[in-house]
A and B are shown apart, each in its own frame.
Chain A
Amino acid sequence: MHKFIPNTKEDKNKMLEAIGVESIEELFTEIPEEFRLGRDLDLPEQMAEMELRKHMRDLGKKNQSTDDLTCFLGAGAYDHYIPSVVKNLASRSEFYTAYTPYQPEISQGTLRVIFEYQTMIAELTGLYASNASLYDGQTAVVEGAIMAVAKMRKRETVLVSASVHPETRKVLKTYLEHQDIKVIEVGLDNGVTDINDLKGKMSKDVATVIVQSPNFFGIIEDIEPLAEVAHEQKSIFMQSVDPMSLGILKSPGEMGVDIAVGDAQCFGNGLNFGGPYLGFIATTDKLFRKLPGRIVGETTDEEGKRAYVLTLQAREQHIRRERATSNICSNQALNALMATIYLSTVGKQGLKEIALQCINKTNYAIEKITALEGYELLFDQPVFKEFAIKGTSDVQKIKDKLLEEGILGGYSLGTEYDTFKNSALYAVTEKRTKEEIDKLAEVLEVI
């Protein structure tokens, strides 16, 4: 197979002749010399199809998936069990080839799925309405913040807790620094949002306060008092939430949260090498007209039959032009479909069971690990499916040793928090068995 563009020398000469240039280099004379590479790209020789297939297969074998390793790694991406029915149904071509459903006449199936997804997200979060989904948990936080600023108009400060995923905070800052919106962090107190620091930073200029619970350290935060502090200044209160935890924990809506966001990768979506994931956003009846992106609504057709259409499009950029508060014109339909199939499969009871198993197995792992010499909890707080352990040796050394034993584990907290050296996060989903947790403890013991 030819590398890159399969043109022969004769092809090239013919083309050059047709446009009246001597050489290909001549086409690039507009680019200053100093910016040009001055040589060919350093690429290997081309391969025949048969060789290439073997080469790709060999490369593929270097990948190690969570089928090969036991995964205790989390930090935003989680190894939950995916029932076979999810991929089986989602890979029907009616679903995976469907583009954004502009035409309700021919897209009732896709629209119906999105409507069901929205209903499930709204019910889970205890809020009035959800949109058709967003790219991922990070951009969902950003969209929520932009929505709050649009609602509050004259307020230009966003407060975000340091217990929100570090990558989420980075994405938030990247988006907002170009919109003249100030992002200020609220400090930590024993692994959770410092409510006194929050009180000190509140003002009439704060459009929204963003917290995460379960937070980046896996800790379940006391949401209600934080929401009260925000509401005293009429600010919008946002919670980024692991939706799996809502099988057992109080919903954002019940706790006074105005906008709930998060990543629903945990619902039937694989780790996917880091993406695509599934962002969700849900909000109250006061705010839903500010929701970004697509929303599907239920209506009746001219024969009085139930039908689905894209709705509330007056918010979107093709209507509002430069005044649109969001420029998301798509959604993660296929990922949302998988989440919908997942939730319909496990059901209310199943979701509760999975959430309970996460809590129980996580607490078993904490018990086992903290019983070992040299390991202790970084924070003594209630957790959901993840926890931070402080050790005595270098986290990278621990990770290498674990990998030798077929265990993927330990997100190093030192990378993002200077104060938490020699500390690592471990995630325990319902997939982990007692034997796997015992083995993790055994390996940790001898390091």
Chain B
Amino acid sequence: MKVKKGLYYSEDHEWVKVEEGVATIGITDFAQHSMGEIVYVELPMEEDELEAGDVFGVLESVKAASDSFTPVSGEVVAVNEALEDEPELINESPYDAWILKIMMSNESEIKDLMSPEEYEEFCNKED
């Protein structure tokens, strides 16, 4: 299992990269591995206003369909449309295949997320 440095992590197995108030969000290597082959990604719409904990989309794999929750609040400013045609990008390279970008309305929410080290420990416990 790969955990990338320089990112924040949620208990729902999402990674968050913060740049100038914009959070780029994807799912972790641990998440893609436990889901198996991902066959469909339902993206949110740009301009959607989301609260931390809201469902932003659905990930469907050969095993299950699961809701995805946003770890931070704000407005959706971009979605990765490439995933509509190639959902397998998430399996191939989970830290490059971002799903959405949110203009954060409350940057302090980042404090509730885990560091790479904390997340690694969190996953070890889940195993």
Query: Please, how many angstroms separate the alpha-carbon atoms of A236 and B44 in the complex?
Result: 15
Query: Please, how many angstroms separate the alpha-carbon atoms of A319 and B66 in the complex?
Result: 10
Interface of chain B, main secondary structure: strand
CB distance from B54 to the nearest CB of A (A): 8
Query: Do residues A154 and B40 form an inter-chain contact, with CB atoms below 8 A?
Result: no
CB within 8 Å: A-B pair count? 19
CB distance from A333 to the nearest CB of B (A): 25
What B residues does A319 contact at CB under 8 A?
A: 64-65
Q: Which of B25-40 contact A (CB under 8 A)?
A: 40
Query: Please, how many angstroms separate the alpha-carbon atoms of A315 and B40 in the complex?
Result: 11
B45 at the interface (CB under 8 A from A): yes
Counting contact residues on chain B (CB < 8 A from A), the size range is 10 to 19
B112 at the interface (CB under 8 A from A): no
A320 at the interface (CB under 8 A from B): yes
Query: Do residues A154 and B42 form an inter-chain contact, with CB atoms below 8 A?
Result: no
Task: Produce 1/0 per residue, B43-62, CB < 8 A to A.
Answer: 01100110000010000100
What A residues does B48 contact at CB under 8 A?
A: 153-154
Query: Please, how many angstroms separate the alpha-carbon atoms of A315 and B42 in the complex?
Result: 12
A289 at the interface (CB under 8 A from B): yes
Query: Please, how many angstroms separate the alpha-carbon atoms of A199 and B40 in the complex?
Result: 35
What B residues does A320 contact at CB under 8 A?
A: 65
Query: Do residues B55 and A153 form an inter-chain contact, with CB atoms below 8 A?
Result: yes
CB distance from A250 to the nearest CB of B (A): 28
CB distance from A348 to the nearest CB of B (A): 32
B11 at the interface (CB under 8 A from A): no
Query: Please, how many angstroms separate the alpha-carbon atoms of A154 and B44 in the complex?
Result: 11
Task: Produce 1/0 per residue, A66-110, CB < 8 A to B.
Answer: 000000000000000000000000000000000000000000000
Query: Do residues B64 and A314 form an inter-chain contact, with CB atoms below 8 A?
Result: yes
What A residues does B65 contact at CB under 8 A?
A: 314-315, 319-320
What B residues does A234 contact at CB under 8 A?
A: 45
Query: Do residues A153 and B44 form an inter-chain contact, with CB atoms below 8 A?
Result: yes
Query: Please, how many angstroms separate the alpha-carbon atoms of A319 and B40 in the complex?
Result: 15
Max chain A CB contacts within 10 Å: which of B44, B55, B65? B65
What B residues does A289 contact at CB under 8 A?
A: 40, 42, 60
B67 at the interface (CB under 8 A from A): yes
A36 at the interface (CB under 8 A from B): no
A397 at the interface (CB under 8 A from B): no
What B residues does A152 contact at CB under 8 A?
A: 45
CB distance from B11 to the nearest CB of A (A): 19
Query: Do residues A323 and B40 form an inter-chain contact, with CB atoms below 8 A?
Result: no
CB distance from A143 to the nearest CB of B (A): 18
Query: Please, how many angstroms separate the alpha-carbon atoms of A320 and B55 in the complex?
Result: 14
Query: Do residues B49 and A154 form an inter-chain contact, with CB atoms below 8 A?
Result: yes
Query: Please, how many angstroms separate the alpha-carbon atoms of A251 and B55 in the complex?
Result: 34
CB distance from B52 to the nearest CB of A (A): 14
Q: Which of A129-162 contact B (CB under 8 A)?
A: 152-154
Query: Please, how many angstroms separate the alpha-carbon atoms of A154 and B51 in the complex?
Result: 11
What B residues does A323 contact at CB under 8 A?
A: 67
What B residues does A314 contact at CB under 8 A?
A: 40, 60, 64-65
CB distance from A319 to the nearest CB of B (A): 6
What A residues does B49 contact at CB under 8 A?
A: 154
CB distance from B3 to the nearest CB of A (A): 28
- Chain A residues close to B by CB (< 8 Å): 152-154, 234, 289, 314-315, 319-320, 323
User: What are 6 inter-chain pairs, A to B, with CB distance below 8 A?
Assistant: A152-B45, A153-B44, A153-B55, A314-B60, A314-B65, A323-B67
Sorted from nearest, which 3 A-B pairs have the closest CB atoms? A314-B65, A314-B60, A320-B65
- Chain B residues close to A by CB (< 8 Å): 40, 42, 44-45, 48-49, 55, 60, 64-65, 67
